[in-house]
């Protein structure tokens, strides 16, 4: 049995917001996506800092949305249940801001750089889970069971190694969000 809405209201609300905003942008109004994505030029020249947050709710295509939506569905309610709603908000928002701050730092000279998607925040949410439930099995590709600690370390290592490589994946955001989420969760667990 999964975690019910009453146990994780913010996680489910954020999931609905992400799905709604992304589907609207993908299917009804592409300009909606352009006004909210992480756009280095708009941030640096136009002071549009809100894009650090709004970019999380927008996705490039249905495949991107499905992957992030499923990951969010499997981990975010569990993290909210484990930490409580207020602390989950801090983990999710802190991870998103950490993801985009690291991306900003790494890509600051590329005024044409653009990014979107929830994966920076998701990386932090997943790593927060790994911090408090390190021996819980996470099924890689729904088949291979690995302890959460192994998955978390592997994910951080892969993200660090993949930065700057070819492709459209924002490994900087993944690494920044993962490290931020892990640190926040560790501080909360110790405090």
Confidence at residue 165, expressed as pLDDT on a 0 to 100 scale: 77
Q: With a cut of 60, say whether residue 1 has pLDDT above it.
A: no
Burial of 115 (0-12, 13-18, 19+ CB in 10 A): buried
Residue 81 CB contacts under 8 Å (≥ 6 apart), including other chains: 3, 7, 8
pTM for the full predicted model: 0.94
- Domain extent at residue 56: 5-190
- Kindly report, residue by residue over 81-94, the tens digit of the pLDDT: 999 999 999 999 99
What total number of domains does the chain contain? 1
* CATH code (residue 81): 1.20.1540.10
DSSP β-bridge partners for residue 138: 146
Strand, helix or coil at 58? coil
Share of the chain above pLDDT 70, in %: 99
């Amino acid at each position: 049995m999964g975690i019910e809405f009453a146990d994780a209201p913010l996680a489910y609300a954020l999931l609905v917001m992400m799905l709604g905003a992304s589907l609207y942008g993908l299917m009804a109004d592409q300009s909606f996506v352009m006004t909210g994505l992480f756009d280095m030029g708009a941030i640096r020249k136009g002071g549009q800092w809100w894009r650090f947050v709004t970019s999380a709710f927008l996705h490039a295509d249905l495949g991107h949305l499905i992957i992030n939506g499923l990951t969010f569905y499997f981990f975010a309610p569990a993290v909210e249940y484990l930490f409580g709603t207020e602390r989950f908000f801090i983990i999710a928002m802190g991870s998103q801001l950490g993801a985009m701050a690291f991306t900003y730092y790494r890509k600051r000279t590329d005024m044409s750089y653009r990014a979107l998607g929830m994966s920076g925040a998701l990386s932090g949410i997943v790593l927060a889970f790994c911090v408090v439930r390190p021996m819980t099995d996470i099924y890689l590709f729904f088949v291979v069971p690995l302890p959460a600690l192994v998955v978390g370390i592997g994910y951080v290592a892969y993200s660090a190694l993949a930065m700057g490589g070819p492709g459209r994946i924002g490994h900087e955001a993944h690494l920044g969000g993962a490290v931020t989420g892990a640190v926040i969760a560790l501080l909360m667990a110790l405090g």
